[in-house]
Amino acid sequence: MGDIDPAFIQSREHRPKSKAVEAGEISVIDLSSQNKQQLISEIGKACEEWGFFQVIKHGVPFEVSRKAEIVADKFFEQSIDEKKKVKRDEDTTQVPSSHEPHDKELRTLTNQWPQHPSDFREALQECAREVEKLAFKLFELILLSLGLAGHKFHGCFRDQLSMVRLNHNPPCPFPDLALGVGRHKDEGALTVPAQDDVGGLQV
């Protein structure tokens, strides 16, 4: 397939289509709203109709998210050999499903951080902390929209694993065949995606 990795080639029915499909608008929700009941109602409706919504004035400082974008760009600009230094292996690892004492088969999983850019780890961890605060706020609002107590989820996420993933999609030589990330469902309880100027996220 020339310069395209076969892993990115989609089956025929899932390939990108140039024809636009009108499907309504994704809700844009202002989290700074002082009307909490309206906020809860908007989030509940968005979850019911789409399972997805966009938030603005969400409390994640711009300078924090921008710094994360900058170091991510610097990382992806490096050579393939440099980036491969932090490539994950293909070995599967079983992780206990809870933190309870009867889970004896504990394993230590260690993050691999690139040496360059030198501030990559600091920037990503700071951004992750801020986004995690946002995620907990969204969880509370979602529970309230279901008529449940907002604090009910706290015990479910003790010692939880939060994951930061960076997707880089350079120009594709065969855009009619491939997608950077194909159709999928995320395995976590909540995903908070941030899209840059490249765009392309589909719901």
DSSP 60-79: --HHHHHHHHHHHHHHHTS-
Whether residue 20 lies inside any domain: the answer is no
Q: What is the sign of the dihedral through the CA atoms of 112, 116, 119 and 124?
A: negative
Mean pLDDT, rounded, for 8-37? 80
How far is 179 from 3, CA to CA, in rounded Å? 14
Whether residue 36 lies inside any domain: the answer is yes
CA nearest neighbour of 126 among 74, 64, 72, 70 = 64
User: What's the pLDDT tens digit per position in 40-69?
Assistant: 999 999 999 999 999 999 999 999 999 999
Computed on alpha carbons and rounded to an integer, the radius of gyration of the chain in Å comes to 20
Whether residue 89 lies inside any domain: the answer is no
Half-sphere exposure of 177 (CA within 13 A, CB side): 12
Whether residue 105 lies inside any domain: the answer is no
pLDDT for 105: 62
Query: Cα dihedral angle (85, 88, 89, 90), rounded to 10 degrees?
Result: -150
Domain residues for the domain of 117 are 30-84+111-192
Taking the chain, what is the end-to-end CA distance rounded to the nearest angstrom? 28
| Total of domains in the chain | 1
Helix, strand, or coil here: 179? coil
What's the predicted TM-score (pTM) here?
Answer: 0.80
CATH code at 78?
Answer: 2.60.120.330
pLDDT for 104: 63
pLDDT for 1: 45
Decide which of 89 and 167 is more confident: 167
Whether residue 140 lies inside any domain: the answer is yes
Residues 6+ apart with CB under 8 A from 189: 139, 157
pLDDT at residue 173 tops 90: no
Mean pLDDT, rounded, for 151-172? 79
